[in-house]
Chain A
Amino acid sequence: MSLVLAYLAVLGAVAARWLARQHLADRPWLAVGSPHPLGAAAAPPSPARLALGVFLASAGLLFSLLVAAYAMRVPRTALVPLEPRLLWLTTSLLGGASLALHRAHAAALRGREEDVTAALGFAMAAGLGFLGGQALAWRALWQAGLAQGPDGAAAFFCLITTLHGLHILAGLVVLAWMTVRAARLPRTKGPEPGIALCTLYWDALLVVWLVLFGLLFRTPWSGLIDALCRPG
Chain B
Amino acid sequence: MSDAITGPQGGSTLLPEADDLYHPHSWWTRYVFSQDAKVIAIQYAGTALAIGFVALILSWLIRLQLGFPGLATFIGPAEYYQLITMHGMIMVVYLLTAVFLGGFGNYLIPLMLGARDMVFPYLNMLSYWIYLLAVLVLVASFFAPGGPTGAGWTLYPPQAILAGTPGQPWGIVLMLVSLILFIAGFTMGGVNYVVTVLQARAPGMTLMRMPLTVWGIFTATVLALLAFPALLVGAVMMLFDRLLGTSFFMPAIIEAGQRLRYGGGSPILFQHLFWFFGHPEVYIVALPAFGIVSDLISTHARKNIFGYRMMVWAIVAIGVLSFVVWAHHMYVSGMNPYFGFFFATTTLIIAIPTAIKVYNWVLTLWRGDIHLTVPMLFAIAFIVTFLNGGLTGLFLGNVVVDVPLSDTMFVVAHFHMVMGVAPILVIFGGLYHWYPKVTGRMLDARLGQIHFWITFLGAYAIFFPMHYLGLLGVPRRYYETTGLGFVPPSAETLNAFISLVAFVVGAAQILFLFNLLHSLRHGAPAGGNPWRATTLEWQTPETPPPHGNWGPNLPVVYRWPYDYSVPGAPEDFLPQNRPDPVRAGGGP
Please report A residues at the B interface, Cβ cutoff 8 Å.
1, 4-5, 8, 11-12, 15, 19, 21-44, 47, 50-51, 54-55, 57-59, 61-62, 65-66, 69, 72-73, 147-152, 155-156, 158-159, 162-163
Q: A34–B194 Cα gap in the complex (Å)?
A: 25
Chain A residues with CB under 8 Å of B222's CB are: 15
Q: Which of A1, A41, A47, A59 is B272 in contact with, Cβ under 8 Å?
A: A1
Q: A2–B295 Cα gap in the complex (Å)?
A: 38
Which of B26-34, B259-267, B376-384 is found at the contact surface with chain A? B259-267
Chain A residues with CB under 8 Å of B57's CB are: none
B240 at the interface (CB under 8 A from A): yes
Indicate whether A32 sits within 8 Å of B558 (C-beta atoms), given known contacts A39-B10, A47-B120: yes
Q: List 10 A-B contacts (CB under 8 A).
A: A29-B560, A41-B10, A51-B194, A58-B191, A58-B229, A65-B233, A69-B273, A73-B269, A147-B246, A159-B240
Q: A4–B229 Cα gap in the complex (Å)?
A: 11
Chain A residues with CB under 8 Å of B506's CB are: none
- Whether A38 lies near B9 (C-beta < 8 A) is yes
Interface core residue of A23, A30, A35, A37 (most chain B CB under 10 Å): A35
Docked complex: B199-217 residues within 8 A CB-CB of A: 199-200, 203-204, 206-209
> How many inter-chain contacts with C-beta < 8 Å in the A-B complex?
183
Q: Which of A30, A57, A58, A62 is B586 in contact with, Cβ under 8 Å?
A: A30
Chain B residues with CB under 8 Å of A162's CB are: 236
Interface size bucket, B side? 35 or more
B453 at the interface (CB under 8 A from A): no
- Whether A65 lies near B229 (C-beta < 8 A) is yes
Chain B residues with CB under 8 Å of A152's CB are: 246-248, 264-265
- Whether B323 lies near A8 (C-beta < 8 A) is yes
- Whether B195 lies near A50 (C-beta < 8 A) is yes
- Whether B264 lies near A151 (C-beta < 8 A) is yes
B23 at the interface (CB under 8 A from A): no
B391 at the interface (CB under 8 A from A): no
Chain B residues with CB under 8 Å of A58's CB are: 187, 190-191, 225-226, 228-229
Indicate whether A41 sits within 8 Å of B11 (C-beta atoms), given known contacts A47-B119, A47-B195, A57-B225: yes
- Tell me, rounded to whole Å, the shortest Cβ–Cβ distance linking B515 to chain A: 36
- Whether B276 lies near A66 (C-beta < 8 A) is no
- Whether B209 lies near A5 (C-beta < 8 A) is no
- Whether A28 lies near B558 (C-beta < 8 A) is no
- Whether B560 lies near A28 (C-beta < 8 A) is yes
- Whether A30 lies near B585 (C-beta < 8 A) is yes
Which of B97-105, B141-149, B309-317, B424-432 is found at the contact surface with chain A? B309-317
